[in-house]
Structure 1
Amino acid sequence: MAEGLKIAVIGGGSSYTPEIVEGFIRKYDSLPVRELWLVDIEEGRHKLEIVGALAQRMVARSGLPIQVHLTLDRRKAIEGADFVSTQLRVGLLEARKWDEHIPNLHGVIGQETTGPGGMMKALRTIPVLLDICRDIEELSPNAWLLNFTNPAGMVTEAIHRHSRVRSIGLCNAPIGLQKWLSGKYGVSAERIFTEFVGLNHLHWVTRIEVNGEDKLPELLNRREEYSGKNVPATEWDADFLRSFGGLPSYYLKYYYMTDAMLAEQLESLRANGTRAEVVKRVEDELFELYKDPNLQEKPKQLEKRGGAYYSEAAVHLMESLHNDRRDIQTLNVANGGTLDFLPKDACIEVNCVVTGQGPLPLPVTRVPEQAKGLIHAVKTYERLTIAAAVEGSRDLALQAMAAHPLVPSVGVAKVLLAEMLERNRPYLPAFFK
């Protein structure tokens, strides 16, 4: 085999692709990519051609010997790959629109990865990812699958439990927090240590040290926060934060400030439409820019998307696995015995040392007692959802919906489930046997 790596990006027509291409160009010395395969499905062909042409211009400008292939043939892309990265959205933004809108109609949080919307996204996505895993098992059994597809924790757990593929889940929130702290304290990321405890989109940062000095109390006192583009910045209660003793992920606002967040969603829905519709406008604008034959770099506007920096996290992880770096990264991995109140095969989001053989989760030094109940409750919902997705079971789906802390009653759970499954009928044939 020629020197260099083969990387397949599934969902290659995504608006995020220029960011990952930029990462491969920047890190070429330590991560020598020989072939980059961007794969999409027929419905995504148009976007794949536009973003793929930009990727080819970026590589040409860099002068590096990376071949960029565009294809609708997933198996060809996966065959012999060293890394497979997934960034796909089953049902596209249209499906996301209903994930957000239907719960709002019933007075429930409508969000892409949290609550009933996240559940539908998981039901659509898990079977597709497991199907991709069958191809990887057959065509590139030693490949690492880096999964960014949301809900990343649930998808990664489903892969761990129902396939033999070596898979790691990733989110852009931890790297976003590091960048925010770097800017705030004017130090490089190496001088910052943060400890994450919890699940994907349900984590607390229980230690923040800058140059070895504990900065958590002052960050909690000031109620300053790093917030994502996709989650509005509603103020936390000062007493609550201080007494909790951890900096919460902004997704936790949906649980602790449900009324304020729901009011904000309904207001935003009236003003701008669902978040999916806002994203669609940003994305259309990006693809207009991508079409410009003179554009040879990632445009600044890409940072308006909620997933900014995700590909930096991806390239960083590939580089550490490839070079046995043994650095610390926050990843979605199997629990083992890290959090003793969760099952061993549950997927959690914690700091890991990244070796050439894969990530090793680090012991956590502090899990606030008051975080355990919510983590456990959401994990129960996640495991029921994974089982429902794998079995196509309406009974399990109802139990999952009713178990979610943001769904107020069984009655509401039944109504939401019926309406949302019907809306997703094209993507969920298993539920309509």
Structure 2
Amino acid sequence: MKLAIVGGGSTYTPELIDGFARLRDSLPIGELVLIDPVADRLELIGALARRIFAKQGHPATVRTSTALDAGVAGADAVLLQLRVGGQAARGQDETWPLECGCVGQETTGAGGLAKALRTVPVVLEIAERVRRANQAAWIVDFTNPVGIVTRALQTAGHRAVGLCNVAIGFQRKFAAHLQVAPELIRLDHVGLNHLTWERGVTLLDAPGATTGREVLPELLTGFGTEIADDLHLPLPLIRRLGVVPSYYLRYYYQHDAVVAELREQGSRAAQVAEIERELLRLYADPALDTKPELLSRRGGAFYSEAAVQLIAALLGTGGGADIQVVNTRNDGVLPFLPDDAVIEVPAAVDATGVRPLPQRPVEPLFAGLIAAVTAYEQLALEAALKGGRDRVFDALLCHPLVGQIELAEQLTDALIAHNKPYLSWI
């Protein structure tokens, strides 16, 4: 089979390559194409990918291409991992909202909206060209904001599913706490991308089993301090809620404290840029044939395992239906949301597609925030597709992290000022 990675010159890519090499029995790739417009960086990553495959005895051919159409031609699945505007744009997303007293973050709030406006048009153009190359190809989106981008792709009729590493990260951490294999942990994971709660954790009787016992109370009792420290949330809150929130809930539950921290610490983009510079230096070493330890500080932990599991199931090489947490169309699973909303829940995934599993009623404390952010995502998508200052303002006014007229006005002006090169309607 042939896989293509759009954004293959990313410093993330060796994480994927390592997973493809280790898990080749699940996903037997014959050809892998890395696609990126930055030729020198692409060749650097491509050479490392070939060395990693060679070291682990993977027989696949690794090609690089700066030409999208040629790269995706005949691909069975295409992974999207773009950053329109690069780390420089991310740095702005994390800075100007802080100047207005709001969280500066690249996937939520005003910064997340800016990223969506830059990204959605580019992704849709790429997807159309993928469809022309192979209508049967699956598009797996890892590009943030995943929920909005996936909704754009699905609304346009593409065979697309969104992927995030938050759920697999919780699975691995819970398994480590309980000293069991990760395959024995199944999550009751519900919400939207970067807005989720683990309402239950089942320890399965065997891998793939449908029976097991609930262990979330045991985790909160025995490992509550570790979980709270990892999330940077107060332990009493987690115990009061009786769930494990995604660490992105900090932006909502402790907004002002996070703003103060971000102002003191500086942007994550600056830290990532420094890590990337060092990673690229390491990647240039012709003796390097494994992913370096430094890559773990770049983010995206367990991304490769999640990607392999998902693609293997979609392409029918994973041995039947698999239950995985993905971003996909709601279709009544959460009845308080529109059918075309994209939710992040466990789903049955196989060669016939993605089917989100039924969910028990969502508690009002969580459902209210889910509904509000879904409304924002709908307005954000309209702004990305149609443009216009009023649509940007509406999306910001709707967002729970903004919600005030004067603040939405300030943020709208700042967003437009910092993103003019990427907004065709200006």
TM-score, length-scaled by structure 1: 0.93
- 1:249 lines up with 2:243 in the alignment: no
CA 34–172 in structure 1, closer or farther in 2 if over 3 Å, else same = same
The secondary structure found in structure 1 opposite 2:30 is strand
Between 108-117 and 51-60, the greater mean CA deviation after superposition? 51-60
Kindly provide the CA deviation profile for residues 411-432 of structure 1, in whole angstroms up to 9, marking residues without a partner as x.
Answer: 11111111121111111122x1
Which of 18, 33, 49 is the equivalent residue of 2:14? Answer: 18
Q: Where does residue 385 of structure 1 map in the other structure?
A: 380
Q: Is the 8 A contact 2:33 2:64 kept in 1?
A: yes
- 1:30 lines up with 2:23 in the alignment: no
Kindly provide the CA deviation profile for residues 216-268 of structure 1, in whole angstroms up to 9, marking residues without a partner as x.
Answer: 2244455446589xxx8423251x33332321111001101112211111111
Q: Is the 8 A contact 1:25 1:62 kept in 2?
A: yes
Q: Distance in 1 between matches of 2:277 and 2:288?
A: 16
Structure 2 unaligned spans of 5+: 205-211
The secondary structure found in structure 2 opposite 1:380 is helix
Q: Distance in 1 between matches of 2:218 and 2:178?
A: 12
Where in structure 2 are the equivalents of 1:99-138 lying within 5 Å? 99-138=93-132
1:195 positional shift: 0.8
1:408 positional shift: 4.7
Q: Distance in 2 between matches of 1:96 and 1:121?
A: 8
The secondary structure found in structure 1 opposite 2:93 is helix
Q: Which amino acid aligns with 1:304?
A: R
Between 403-412 and 115-124, the greater mean CA deviation after superposition? 403-412
Q: Distance in 1 between matches of 2:26 and 2:63?
A: 22
CA 225–126 in structure 1, closer or farther in 2 if over 3 Å, else same = farther
TM-score, length-scaled by structure 2: 0.94
Q: Is the 8 A contact 1:177 1:226 kept in 2?
A: no
- 1:275 lines up with 2:268 in the alignment: yes
- 1:326 lines up with 2:316 in the alignment: no
Between 152-161 and 25-34, the greater mean CA deviation after superposition? 25-34
Q: Where does residue 55 of structure 1 map in the other structure?
A: 49
Q: Distance in 1 between matches of 2:301 and 2:129?
A: 29
Q: Where does residue 216 of structure 1 map in the other structure?
A: 216
Where in structure 2 are the equivalents of 1:121-200 lying within 5 Å? 121-161=115-155, 163-200=156-193
Kindly provide the CA deviation profile for residues 393-423 of structure 1, in whole angstroms up to 9, marking residues without a partner as x.
Answer: 2211110011111115111111111112111
Kindly provide the CA deviation profile for residues 284-326 of structure 1, in whole angstroms up to 9, marking residues without a partner as x.
Answer: 1111110100001111111112212112211111112222521
- Give aligned-pair identity as a percent: 44
Q: Distance in 2 between matches of 1:31 and 1:190?
A: 17
Q: Distance in 1 between matches of 2:178 and 2:379?
A: 42
Q: Distance in 1 between matches of 2:274 and 2:108?
A: 22
C-alpha RMSD of matched pairs (Å) = 1.6
- 1:96 lines up with 2:90 in the alignment: yes
Q: Which amino acid aligns with 1:354?
A: V
Q: Distance in 2 between matches of 1:204 and 1:146?
A: 23
Q: Which amino acid aligns with 1:214?
A: E
Runs (4+) off by over 3 Å: 218-228
- 1:368 lines up with 2:363 in the alignment: yes
Kindly provide the CA deviation profile for residues 52-96 of structure 1, in whole angstroms up to 9, marking residues without a partner as x.
Answer: 110111222233321111111000111111000011100000000
